[in-house]
Structure 1
Amino acid sequence: MSAKIQSSNKKGLFTKFLDVIEVVGNKLPHPVTLFAIFSLAVVIISAMAAAAGTTVDFDRVDMATGETELTTVVAISLLTAEGIRRIFSEAVTNFTGFAPLGTVLVAMLGVGVAEGTGLVQAALRKLVLATPKKLITAVVIFAGIMSNVASDAGYVVLVPLGALIFLSFGRHPLAGLAAAFAGVSGGFSANLIVGTIDPLLGGISQQAAQMYSPGYTVDPTANWYFMIVSTFVITIIGTIITEKIVEPRLGAYTGGEKASIEKVSDHETKGLKWAGISLLGLLLVMLALTLPANAVLRSDSGSLMSGSAFMAGLVPIIALFFLVPGIAYGMAAGTVKSDKDIAGFMGKAMSTMGGYLVLAFVASQFVAYFNWSNLGTILAVKGADVLQATGMTGIPMLIGFILVSGFINLFIGSASAKWAIMAPIFVPMLMRLGYSPEFTQIAYRIGDSTTNIISPLMSYFAVIIAFAQKYDKKTGIGTLISTMIPYSLVFLAAWIILFVAWFALGLPLGPGAYIRL
Structure 2
Amino acid sequence: MGIGNGILGFVEKAGNRLPDPVFIFVWFIGFLVIGSVAAAAYGLSAVNPVDGQAVAAQSLLSSENLRRLFVDMPKTLTGFAPLGYVLVVMLGAGVAERTGLFSAAMRAGIRRAPKALLTPIVVFVGIVSNHASDAGYVVLVPLAGLVFAAAGRHPVAGIAAGFAAVSGGFSANLFPGHLDALLLGLTEPAARLIQPDWTANIAGNWYFIVAMTVVFVPLAWFVTDRIIEPRLGPWQPTADAPVQLSDSELSREEKRGLWWAGLAALLVIGAWTAMSVSPNPPLVDLTAEPTERMTPFYQSLVAGFFVLFLATGVAFGVAARTLKDHRHLVKMLTESMAVMAPYIVLAFVAAHFVAMFNWSNLGVILAILGAEQLSASGLPAWQLLIAIVLLAATVNIFIGSASAKWAAMAPVMVPMLMLLGISPEMATAAYRMGDSVTNIITPLMVYFPLILGFCQRWVPGFGVGNLMATMLPYSFFFLIGGAIMTGAWVFLDLPLGGGETVHYDLNEARAAVQAAPAQ
- TM-score, scaled relative to structure 1: 0.64
2:282 maps to what in 1?
296
Change (3 A) 1:224 1:116: farther
Distance of 2:206 and 2:250 partners within structure 1: 32
CA contact (8 A) 1:56 1:72 kept: yes
2:328 maps to what in 1?
341
CA contact (8 A) 1:145 1:190 kept: no
The equivalent position to 2:40 in structure 1, one of 21, 45, 50, is 50
How far apart are 1:268 and its partner, in Å? 1.8
Q: Please give the per-residue CA displacement for 1:78-133, whole angstroms capped at 9, x wherever unaligned.
A: 223333233222222211111222122112222222222222222222222243xx
Q: Does 1:433 align with 2:413?
A: yes
Change (3 A) 1:116 1:33: same
1:363 maps to what in 2?
350
2:91 maps to what in 1?
109
Q: Does 1:262 align with 2:251?
A: no
2:59 maps to what in 1?
77
Distance of 1:55 and 1:405 partners within structure 2: 17
Change (3 A) 1:71 1:437: farther
Higher RCO, 1 vs 2 (CA within 8 Å, ≥6 residues apart) = 2
Amino acid corresponding to residue 146 of structure 2 in structure 1: V
Gaps in structure 1 of 5+ consecutive residues: 1-9, 61-68, 165-175, 195-201, 214-222, 409-417, 467-476, 509-517
Distance of 2:121 and 2:453 partners within structure 1: 22
Change (3 A) 1:440 1:119: farther
Distance of 2:392 and 2:67 partners within structure 1: 39
How far apart are 1:396 and its partner, in Å? 0.9
How far apart are 1:263 and its partner, in Å? 2.3
Q: Please give the per-residue CA displacement for 1:398-422, whole angstroms capped at 9, x wherever unaligned.
A: 542586599x7xxxxxxxxx76499
Gaps in structure 2 of 5+ consecutive residues: 127-135, 173-178, 191-204, 237-244, 415-423, 499-519
The equivalent position to 2:106 in structure 1, one of 97, 118, 124, is 124
Query: Which shifted more, 440-449 or 73-82?
Result: 440-449
Distance of 2:37 and 2:156 partners within structure 1: 49
Q: Please give the per-residue CA displacement for 1:357-379, whole angstroms capped at 9, x wherever unaligned.
A: 12211121112222222222211
Distance of 2:442 and 2:61 partners within structure 1: 39
The equivalent position to 1:142 in structure 2, one of 121, 133, 141, is 121
Change (3 A) 1:486 1:84: closer
Change (3 A) 1:58 1:227: closer
After TM superposition, the structure 1 = structure 2 runs for residues 443-482 of structure 1, keeping only pairs within 5 Å, are 443-449=434-440
After TM superposition, the structure 1 = structure 2 runs for residues 218-367 of structure 1, keeping only pairs within 5 Å, are 261-301=247-287, 306=292, 308-367=295-354
CA contact (8 A) 2:391 2:434 kept: yes
Q: Secondary structure at the match of 2:376?
A: helix
Q: Secondary structure at the match of 1:336?
A: coil
CA contact (8 A) 1:289 1:297 kept: yes
1:377 maps to what in 2?
364
Change (3 A) 1:110 1:419: farther
How far apart are 1:309 and its partner, in Å? 3.5
CA contact (8 A) 2:386 2:487 kept: no
2:21 maps to what in 1?
31
Change (3 A) 1:140 1:366: closer
Distance of 1:319 and 1:228 partners within structure 2: 29
CA contact (8 A) 2:168 2:475 kept: no
How far apart are 1:144 and its partner, in Å? 7.4
Q: Secondary structure at the match of 1:56?
A: strand
Distance of 1:161 and 1:268 partners within structure 2: 16
CA contact (8 A) 1:116 1:345 kept: yes
Distance of 2:482 and 2:253 partners within structure 1: 41
- TM-score, scaled relative to structure 2: 0.64
Q: Does 1:397 align with 2:397?
A: no
Q: Please give the per-residue CA displacement for 1:200-257, whole angstroms capped at 9, x wherever unaligned.
A: xx9xx99xx9xx99xxxxxxxxx999999877766656667889x689x99xx9x9xx
CA contact (8 A) 1:138 1:239 kept: no
Change (3 A) 1:450 1:20: closer
What value does the CA root-mean-square deviation take over the aligned residues? 5.0
